[in-house]
C-alpha cells in the first residue's frame, strides 16, 4: 500500500523581507509551538536543524534549548539540515559548501551528539553537479531540493540517484510543491501517485510550526503517517539516476546584488589566506578563523546571496562580511609580517630605501604582473623618476611607473613589474631608484593598439571590434565586451519572465583617451553615457601577453533594465565554472550562474564580479547588473513609476580578464585573478630565512590545492584540492620538512591529513 510520509517542518528564513533580529523573535515562538505540539500529540515528529538559529535559542532561551536536546534524544526532533544554513549553492566557492558541512555537522555533533544524514535544502535557487561528492564526503546520505521545479526540469519521478562527475551518487528527492496550506489536499494528491511520497507541512518563511488542524488531519488519514526525512529515505530505493545540474529558471537571483556576491568572494579568499598564513607562521587561532567562517556561511543564506532580501538587510550583511574580511586580513598580515621580519633582506646596505616582499598564497607558482607602492620620506626630496627591482641573484626587473592611489605626486611611487613568486611562499626584492626620467607618451592611434603579437582595434564608439593575431594571421574575435542594455520587466527573482526583453539604444562614447602607455602595458579609458547613467571601461593591453584586462566602473541610475558586456562567439557551446568543478553547457537565452571563469570555443574569461551570463544567438552576455525592485514578488500589479527601492543604484566596479589562448589551467588563472599576490614593504635587516621560499608545492598535472589549514580538533595539517580534467594520477606534495605522495582519482575533491605518521586521505569532516 502506498504511503505518505508527513514531515513536520518549519521553513524558516533568518533574513528575507525582514532582518535577523525580527526573525530571532519569531523562531522562539515557533519552537515553543513545536514543543507544545509534541506534548499534545505523542506521534508528532518535527524536523529542523539550522545551527546559527539554534545558537539564538541557546543564548536567549537556554531552557528551551535543553528541551530541544531531549526531543532529539527521543528521536522526535530530527536534525535534517546538515549544513550551517540553506545556502545559495552556485555563488559560493566550493570550499564554502565544504565548510557548510564541516561547521554544520560539527555543531550538531557537539550539541546533540549526532551528525545529520540529510541536507534539507528545498529553497535554494539551484544545485551544482559537484554537490553529490561534497555531500557524501560530509557524512550526508540524502538530499532534498525543490527548485528547479518540474516546469523548469522534468524528472520521471521525484526520487533519484544524483550522480556527479567523479561517480559519487547521493539519494535525492525533489519536492516541487512543499508546504501545502491544506494537509488533506496534499494527502489526496499524493494518493493519486504510483509511488510513496514525502510531504512537508508547517507554517513557512517567517516561522511557525505545524498547526493543530494539520496534525489532526494526518491522524484521520489512512495512508499518511508522521515521519522523519530519514525514515522516508531508508524505506525507499530507486534505479533512476540523474547526472545533470539543477538550474532554476527564476534566473534573476544569479545576477542580483553583485556587491554582496563580490564581498562573499573577497571574504572567502581572505579567510583561506588567513588559514595558510597561520600555518606558515605556526600561530593558528582556530576560534577566530571559525568565527570568520560562521559569518561568511550565514551570509550565504540563499535569499541574502541571491539578492532577494529587503534593502535594509544588506546593511547587516555588508557589516558581517566586513567583520570577517577585517579579522581575516589582520590574521594574515600579522602572521606574514612575523615571517617577513626574519628574512635576510636583499638590500642589506642601510642606505637601501625599500625592500619589497611579495607573498603568493595560492598553491602554485605565480608568474605575472604585480603592482606595489612605496612611500618616500617626508623630510627628504620627493622622487618622481624611474624604479627597478633586483633580487639576490642580481636579476633586474623592469618597472613601469603607474598612477599612485593618492593624488600627491612624488610623495609616493606606484609601479608595475612582472615576476615569478613561488607556491605558498614569497620572494624579496631590493628597490632601486634608477634616476631615469619618466616620459609619458600617448599612442599614435587610440583606435588601434599593437603589441608584440596582437593588434587590438576599436570602433569609432570606443568598443573593441577585433583582436588580430599576427602570428597566425587571423582575427581571434569580433566584438569583445561591448556594453549593451536590455529591458528587464522581471521581479526580483524574474519569476514573471522567461528572459530579458528588447535591446535598448547603444551607449554613447563621450571620450576615448590613454591613461597609461609604457614598456609593459597601455591603458585606454572609454567614457560612455547611457540615459542617466555613466560608464567607464578601462582596456589594459599588455605588450607581451596573450590576454587583456577590462575594468568597468558604472554609475547606474536606471531601473527595470539589465546591463551586460557582450562578446561575439562562434559557438554557444561552452564550459562554466561551478563550485569545485565545471559544467558543460549549450545555448541559454536566460541567465545562468557562473563562478570565477568561463571558457568558450576561442576565448577564456576570468571575472571577479560577474556571477551570471547568457549564451544565445552567437552572443555571450556577461551580466554586470540588473535593477529590479527590492523584494518584489509581483503578486499584484504595481505602478513601476512609484518610488520603490531599486537594486544596484550607484557605483558598480569589476574586472574581467580575457585570454586569447586556451588555458588548460584556467581554474588556477581565475584564482590568481581573484586572489593576487600580497606586497609587503620592508626595511633592510638580517634574518635566518632566505630571500625566496615556498612552504607548500604540488607536483601534479591537473590538480589545484585550495586549502592549507590546521585540523579543527587535532594537531595536524589539512590539505584539500581538486582534480580538474578527469585524469587519474599520483601527485607529490612538498612541505618544508617532507615529500608526500597521494593517488588522485578523476574529478576528485580530496582532503588529506598530514602529521608525523605521513599523509592519508580523510573526509571533509576531518574524521
pLDDT digits (tens, 9 = 90+) for 17-60: 999 999 998 999 999 999 999 999 999 999 999 999 999 999 99
In the predicted model, what is the mean pLDDT of residues 486-498? 96
561: confidence class by pLDDT, cuts 50, 70, 90:
very high
The CATH number, out of the four listed (2.60.40.1180, 3.40.640.10, 1.10.10.10, 3.40.630.10), of the domain defined by the range 355-428: 2.60.40.1180
DSSP code for 283: -
pLDDT score for 352: 60
Under CATH, to which class is 4-248 assigned?
Answer: alpha beta
179: confidence class by pLDDT, cuts 50, 70, 90:
low
**In the chain, which segments carry CATH 2.60.40.1180?**
355-428
pLDDT score for 350: 59
DSSP code for 205: B
Rg, C-alpha atoms of the chain: 28
pLDDT score for 202: 86
In the predicted model, what is the mean pLDDT of residues 616-643? 89
Q: In this predicted structure, which of 214-228, 309-323, 631-645 has the lowest mean pLDDT? A: 631-645
Query: In this predicted model, what pLDDT tens digit does every residue of 104-114 receive, in sequence order?
Result: 999 999 999 99
Place of cell 555588508: 318
CA angle 273, 750, 574 (to 5 degrees): 85
572: confidence class by pLDDT, cuts 50, 70, 90:
very high
pLDDT score for 1: 60
Average pLDDT value for the chain: 95
> Is pLDDT of 205 > 60?
no
> Is pLDDT of 518 > 70?
yes
d(CA 250, CA 638): 20
517: confidence class by pLDDT, cuts 50, 70, 90:
very high
Query: In this predicted model, what pLDDT tens digit does every residue of 340-388 receive, in sequence order?
Result: 999 999 986 655 678 999 999 999 999 999 999 998 876 667 788 999 9
Percent of the chain with pLDDT over 70: 98
pLDDT score for 628: 96
207: confidence class by pLDDT, cuts 50, 70, 90:
low
pLDDT score for 642: 80
**In the chain, which segments carry CATH 2.70.98.30?**
448-674
Under CATH, to which class is 695-767 assigned?
Answer: mainly beta
Retrieve residue 342's grid coordinates. 626574519
Query: In this predicted model, what pLDDT tens digit does every residue of 221-246 receive, in sequence order?
Result: 999 999 999 999 999 999 999 999 99
What b/e readout covers 330-368, taking b as 16+ CB neighbours within 10 angstroms?
A: ebbbebbeebbeebebbbeeeeebbbbbbbbbbbbbbeb
pLDDT score for 191: 86
What b/e readout covers 738-760, taking b as 16+ CB neighbours within 10 angstroms?
A: eeeebebeebbbbbbbbeeeebe
Q: Are 247 and 272 in contact (CB under 8 A)?
A: no
> Is pLDDT of 581 > 90?
yes
> Is pLDDT of 640 > 60?
yes
Query: In this predicted model, what pLDDT tens digit does every residue of 725-748 receive, in sequence order?
Result: 999 999 999 998 799 999 999 999
Please name every residue paired with 174 in a beta bridge, in sequence order, or none if there are none.
145
In the predicted model, what is the mean pLDDT of residues 709-734? 97
d(CA 188, CA 331): 57
Query: In this predicted model, what pLDDT tens digit does every residue of 72-87 receive, in sequence order?
Result: 999 999 999 899 999 9
Q: In this predicted structure, which of 132-141, 626-635, 695-704 has the lowest mean pLDDT? A: 626-635
One DSSP character per residue, 486-553 reads EE----SS-TT-SS---B-PPPEEEEEEEEEE-SSEEEEEEEEEETTEEEEEEEEEESS-SEEEEEEE
> Is pLDDT of 397 > 90?
yes
Query: In this predicted model, what pLDDT tens digit does every residue of 653-686 receive, in sequence order?
Result: 999 999 999 888 999 999 999 999 999 999 889 9
**In the chain, which segments carry CATH 3.20.110.10?**
4-248
pLDDT score for 374: 92
> Is pLDDT of 455 > 70?
yes
Question: In terms of pLDDT, which residue wins out, 264 or 382?
Answer: 264
d(CA 506, CA 515): 24
- What size, in residues, is the chain? 767
pLDDT score for 379: 64
Q: Does domain 448-674 have CATH number 2.70.98.30?
A: yes
Amino acid at each position: 500500500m502506498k504511503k505518505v510520509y508527513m514531515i513536520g517542518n518549519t521553513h524558516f528564513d533568518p533574513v528575507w523581507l525582514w532582518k535577523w533580529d525580527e526573525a530571532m523573535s519569531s523562531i522562539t515562538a515557533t519552537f515553543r509551538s513545536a514543543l507544545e505540539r509534541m506534548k499534545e500529540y505523542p506521534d508528532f515528529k518535527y524536523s529542523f536543524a539550522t545551527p546559527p538559529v539554534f545558537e539564538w535559542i541557546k543564548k536567549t532561551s537556554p531552557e528551551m534549548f535543553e528541551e530541544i536536546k531531549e526531543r532529539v534524544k527521543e528521536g522526535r526532533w530530527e536534525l535534517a539540515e546538515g549544513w550551517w544554513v540553506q545556502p545559495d549553492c552556485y555563488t559560493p566557492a566550493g570550499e564554502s559548501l565544504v565548510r557548510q558541512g564541516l561547521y554544520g555537522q560539527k555543531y550538531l555533533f557537539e550539541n546533540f551528539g549526532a551528525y545529520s544524514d540529510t541536507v534539507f535544502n528545498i529553497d535554494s535557487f539551484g544545485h551544482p553537479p559537484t554537490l553529490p561528492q561534497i555531500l557524501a564526503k560530509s557524512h550526508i546520505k540524502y538530499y532534498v531540493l525543490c527548485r528547479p521545479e518540474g516546469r523548469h526540469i522534468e524528472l520521471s519521478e521525484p526520487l533519484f540517484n544524483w550522480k556527479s562527475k567523479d561517480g559519487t551518487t547521493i539519494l535525492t528527492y525533489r519536492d516541487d510543491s512543499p508546504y501545502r496550506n491544506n494537509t488533506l489536499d496534499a494527502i489526496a494528491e499524493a494518493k493519486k501517485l504510483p509511488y510513496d511520497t514525502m510531504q512537508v507541512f508547517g507554517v513557512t518563511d517567517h516561522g511557525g510550526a505545524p498547526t493543530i488542524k494539520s496534525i489532526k488531519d494526518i491522524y484521520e488519514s489512512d495512508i499518511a503517517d508522521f515521519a522523519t526525512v530519514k525514515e522516508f529515505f531508508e524505506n525507499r530505493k530507486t534505479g533512476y539516476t540523474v547526472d545533470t545540474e539543477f538550474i532554476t529558471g527564476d534566473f534573476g537571483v544569479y545576477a542580483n546584488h553583485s556587491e554582496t556576491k563580490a564581498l562573499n568572494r573577497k571574504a572567502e579568499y581572505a579567510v583561506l589566506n588567513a588559514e595558510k598564513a597561520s600555518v606558515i607562521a605556526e600561530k593558528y587561532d582556530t576560534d577566530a578563523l571559525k568565527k570568520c567562517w560562521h559569518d561568511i556561511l550565514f551570509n550565504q543564506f540563499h535569499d541574502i546571496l541571491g539578492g532577494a532580501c529587503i534593502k535594509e538587510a544588506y546593511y547587516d550583511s555588508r557589516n558581517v562580511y566586513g567583520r570577517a574580511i577585517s579579522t581575516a586580513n589582520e590574521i594574515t598580515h600579522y602572521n606574514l609580517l612575523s615571517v617577513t621580519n626574519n628574512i635576510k633582506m636583499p638590500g642589506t646596505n642601510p642606505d637601501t630605501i625599500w625592500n619589497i616582499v611579495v607573498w603568493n598564497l595560492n598553491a602554485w607558482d605565480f608568474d605575472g604582473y604585480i603592482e606595489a607602492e612605496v612611500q618616500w620620506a617626508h623630510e627628504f626630496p620627493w622622487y618622481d623618476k624611474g624604479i627597478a627591482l633586483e633580487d639576490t641573484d642580481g636579476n633586474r626587473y623592469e618597472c613601469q611607473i603607474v598612477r599612485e592611489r593618492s593624488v600627491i605626486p612624488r610623495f609616493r611611487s606606484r609601479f608595475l613589474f612582472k615576476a615569478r613568486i613561488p607556491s605558498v611562499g614569497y620572494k624579496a626584492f631590493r628597490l632601486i631608484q634608477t634616476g631615469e626620467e619618466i616620459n609619458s607618451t600617448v599612442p599614435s592611434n587610440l583606435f588601434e593598439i599593437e603589441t608584440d603579437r596582437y593588434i587590438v582595434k576599436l570602433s569609432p564608439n570606443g568598443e573593441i571590434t577585433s583582436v588580430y593575431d599576427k602570428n597566425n594571421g587571423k582575427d581571434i574575435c569580433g566584438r569583445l565586451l561591448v556594453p549593451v542594455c536590455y529591458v528587464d520587466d522581471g521581479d526580483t527573482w524574474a519569476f514573471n519572465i522567461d528572459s530579458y526583453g528588447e535591446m535598448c539604444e547603444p551607449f554613447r562614447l563621450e571620450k576615448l583617451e590613454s591613461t597609461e602607455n609604457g614598456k609593459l602595458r597601455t591603458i585606454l579609458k572609454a567614457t560612455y553615457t547611457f540615459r542617466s547613467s555613466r560608464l567607464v571601461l578601462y582596456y589594459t593591453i599588455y605588450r607581451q601577453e596573450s590576454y587583456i584586462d577590462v575594468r568597468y566602473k558604472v554609475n547606474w541610475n536606471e531601473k527595470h533594465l539589465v546591463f551586460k558586456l557582450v562578446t561575439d562567439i562562434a559557438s554557444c557551446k561552452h564550459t562554466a565554472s561551478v563550485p569545485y568543478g565545471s559544467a558543460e553547457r549549450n545555448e541559454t537565452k536566460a541567465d545562468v550562474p557562473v563562478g570565477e571563469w568561463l571558457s568558450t570555443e576561442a576565448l577564456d574569461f576570468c571575472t571577479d564580479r560577474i556571477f551570471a551570463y547568457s549564451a544565445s544567438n552567437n552572443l555571450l552576455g556577461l551580466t554586470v547588473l540588473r535593477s529590479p525592485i527590492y523584494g518584489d514578488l509581483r503578486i499584484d500589479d504595481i505602478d513601476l513609476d512609484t518610488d520603490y527601492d531599486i537594486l544596484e543604484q550607484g557605483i558598480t566596479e569589476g574586472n574581467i580578464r580575457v585570454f586569447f589562448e586556451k588555458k588548460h589551467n584556467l581554474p588556477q588563472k581565475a584564482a590568481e585573478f581573484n586572489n593576487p599576490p600580497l606586497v609587503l614593504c620592508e626595511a633592510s635587516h638580517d634574518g635566518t630565512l632566505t630571500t625566496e621560499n615556498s612552504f607548500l608545492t604540488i607536483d601534479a598535472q591537473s590538480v589545484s590545492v585550495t586549502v592549507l589549514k590546521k585540523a579543527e580538533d587535532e594537531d595536524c595539517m589539512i590539505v584539500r584540492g581538486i582534480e580538474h580534467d578527469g585524469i587519474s594520477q599520483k601527485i607529490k606534495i612538498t612541505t618544508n620538512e617532507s615529500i608526500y605522495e597521494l593517488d588522485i582519482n578523476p574529478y576528485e575533491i580530496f582532503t588529506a591529513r598530514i602529521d608525523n605518521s605521513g599523509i592519508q586521505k580523510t573526509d571533509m569532516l576531518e574524521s
